[in-house]
Amino acid sequence: MTQQSSYLLMVVTYTTKPGLRSAFHEVILKEGLQEASRLEAGNIAYDYFLSVDRPDELLLVEKWIDKEALTLHKTLPHFLRLQALKDEFIKSVSVVITQIDPK
């Protein structure tokens, strides 16, 4: 059995402006922002989830090999584009970053 390496787990909760969750998610997919993040060398996972109970909530779960990979991610054009979209679509954002060290 192979031992898993440590990684950074980042959980981002977007609360969109009322009624804009689907439009926000569609722009992310249409512009290839999710796929571009997944293709980064330091990315392990980059997945969006829609809340069943909260119609204006979109959850993003990211896994990165290390802090340096996440820092680099934040300088790339697709990340900067996502930040620009927040003004149009997002009411609030919550971010939790945790270092995972499997044993």
- Domain of residue 88: give its range: 17-100
Domain membership of residue 7 (yes or no) is no
Residue 96 bridge partners (DSSP): 11
In the chain, how many domains are there? 1
Helix (H) or strand (E) run with residue 66 in it: none
Domain membership of residue 1 (yes or no) is no
Tell me the one-letter amino acid at 51: S
Domain membership of residue 83 (yes or no) is yes
Domain membership of residue 58 (yes or no) is yes
Q: What pTM was estimated for this model as a whole? A: 0.91
pLDDT in tens, 53-99: 999 999 999 999 999 999 999 999 999 999 999 999 999 999 999 99
pLDDT in tens, 22-44: 999 999 999 999 999 999 999 99
pLDDT in tens, 87-97: 999 999 999 99
CATH number at residue 26: 3.30.70.100
Domain membership of residue 40 (yes or no) is yes
Render the burial of 43-81: b for 16+ CB within 10 Å, e for the rest: beebeeeeeeeeebbbebebbbbeeebbeebeeeebbee
Q: Which of 6, 8, 2 is nearest to 102 (CA)?
A: 6
Domain membership of residue 87 (yes or no) is yes
Average pLDDT, the chain: 95
